[in-house]
């Protein structure tokens, strides 16, 4: 399973970066192939200062070795080895009318000292972080997510949509990071669903990413914007950074497993503001966004 999924991630990375380069038309992804001393490595691809993308990363990694003590405590295991692979992407467009997007699809195995697999699971999802709310964009993104889920289980969309709303939440701000999407984790074999079926589901979601995001991006990147709207984008990016550094489990796992710091922090936008006690004007487009972030909405 790990070889099959890691091969798929290589193919998906190629598909996504080729499409994004075509859309940007100005900049291309720089590739950085790296190795981890403890075992494994990855292929990082970064695009910066393009016509469309201020910064973006589409990274894959496959790492293995002894599970660090801190993570053994987290998983309540002792003296085990692990393998983890995943594709993680974050795209920050220049235009504040175009949303930031994040996606991640991953697979994890743990082994005893005999090399037997003692646990394995899939995880992942995709979510949208707009700076200005176009409700038709949110509906489109969620419709694509729901269509991918519905091909496998009619309960998946609502379950993983709700988990996304719960997970990507800045509890210290009492607001969501964005308008959500899907979030699933610890997808394990059971009487109802096999690991092969989980693979098919995760692949379905991964294959749906471009359909979910590209039409939104292409509609918004040519819209005019003001300096004030760009300031708002940078202030909201600050909340994005706060979530990734304070709450995100993937960041925590990467740091505690001696992950590659440049890849872990590639999600951070290049231009960010923290303005003291900033409040959007009443009945403004900025306030409209905040109202939705305070109370997650049913989009489809």
Within-domain flag for 91: yes
CA end-to-end span of the chain, whole Å? Answer: 33
Within-domain flag for 162: yes
Within-domain flag for 223: yes
Give the least confident one: 7-16, 104-113, 254-263. Answer: 254-263
Q: Is 172 a catalytic residue?
A: no
Mean pLDDT, rounded, of the chain: 95
Total number of domains constituting the chain? 1
Residue span of the structural domain in which 126 resides: 2-294
Within-domain flag for 299: no
Within-domain flag for 98: yes
List pLDDT tens digits, range 202-222: 999 999 999 999 999 999 999
- State yes or no: pLDDT of 233 exceeds 80: yes
Q: What's the confidence (pLDDT) of residue 74? A: 81
The region, left, alpha or beta by phi > 0 then psi within -120 to 50, assigned to residue 259 is beta
Pick the closest to residue 217 from 25, 9, 11, 8 (CA basis). Answer: 25
Q: What separation in angstroms does the CA of 249 have from each of 53, 69, 110, 134? A: 26, 16, 18, 29
The one catalytic residue in 10, 64, 92, 102 is 102
Q: What's the confidence (pLDDT) of residue 98? A: 98
Ramachandran angles phi, psi of 38, nearest 5°: -80, -10
247: exposed, middle or buried (Cβ count in 10 Å: 0-12, 13-18, 19+): middle
In SS3 terms, the chain reads as: CHHHHHHHHHHHHHHHHHHHHHHHCCCCCEEEEEECCCCEEEEEEEEECCCCEEEEEEEEEEEEEECCHHHHHHHCCCCCEEEEEEEEEEEEECCCCCCEEEEEEEEEEEECCCCCEEEEEEEEEEEEECCCCCHHHHHHHHHHHHHHHHCCCCCHHHHHHHHHHHHCEECCCCEECCCEEEEEEEECCCCCCCHHHHHHHHHHHHHHHHHHHHHHHHHHCCCCCCHHHHHHHHHHHHHHHHHHHHCCHHHHHHHHCCCCHHHHHHHCCCCCCCCCCCCCCCCCHHHHHHHHHHCCCCCC
For 78, other C-beta atoms within 10 Å of its C-beta total 9
Q: What's the confidence (pLDDT) of residue 76? A: 87
Q: For residues 129 and 164, what is the distance between their CA atoms, to the nearest angstrom?
A: 12
| CB 90, CB 57: distance < 8 Å | yes
Residue whose structure tokens are 């002894």: 66
Within-domain flag for 300: no
List pLDDT tens digits, range 20-45: 999 999 999 999 999 988 899 999 99
The region, left, alpha or beta by phi > 0 then psi within -120 to 50, assigned to residue 24 is alpha
CATH number at residue 60: 3.40.1500.10
List pLDDT tens digits, range 76-119: 889 899 999 999 999 999 999 999 999 999 999 999 989 999 99
Within-domain flag for 130: yes
Within-domain flag for 167: yes
Section 244-256 average pLDDT: 84
Q: What's the confidence (pLDDT) of residue 118? A: 92
Q: What's the confidence (pLDDT) of residue 254? A: 77
């Amino acid at each position: 399973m790990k070889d099959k999924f890691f091969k798929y991630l290589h193919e998906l990375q190629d598909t996504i970066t080729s499409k994004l380069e075509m859309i940007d038309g100005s900049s291309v992804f720089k590739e950085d192939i790296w190795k981890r001393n403890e075992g494994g490595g990855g292929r990082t691809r970064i695009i910066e200062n393009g016509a469309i993308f201020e910064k973006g990363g589409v990274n894959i990694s496959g790492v293995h070795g002894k599970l660090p003590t801190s993570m053994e405590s987290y998983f309540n295991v002792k003296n085990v080895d692990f393998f983890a692979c995943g594709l993680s992407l974050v795209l920050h467009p220049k235009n504040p009318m175009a949303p930031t997007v994040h996606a991640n699809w991953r697979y994890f195995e743990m082994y005893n000292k005999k090399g037997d697999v003692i646990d394995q699971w899939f995880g992942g999802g995709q979510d949208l972080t707009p700076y200005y709310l176009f409700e038709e964009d949110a509906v489109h993104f969620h419709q694509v997510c729901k269509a991918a889920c519905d091909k496998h289980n009619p309960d998946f969309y609502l379950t993983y949509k709700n988990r996304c709303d719960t997970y990507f939440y800045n509890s210290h701000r009492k607001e969501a990071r964005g308008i959500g999407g899907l979030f699933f984790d610890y997808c394990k074999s059971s009487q109802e669903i096999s690991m092969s079926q989980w693979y098919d589901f995760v692949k379905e979601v991964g294959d749906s990413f471009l359909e979910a995001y590209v039409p939104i991006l292409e509609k918004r990147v040519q819209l005019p914007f003001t300096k004030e709207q760009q300031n708002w984008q940078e202030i909201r990016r600050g909340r994005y950074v706060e979530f990734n550094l304070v709450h995100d489990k993937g960041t925590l796992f990467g740091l505690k497993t001696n992950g590659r710091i440049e890849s872990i922090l590639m999600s951070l936008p290049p231009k960010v503001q923290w303005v003291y006690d900033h409040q959007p004007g009443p009945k403004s487009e900025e306030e409209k966004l905040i109202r939705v972030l305070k109370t997650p909405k049913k989009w489809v």
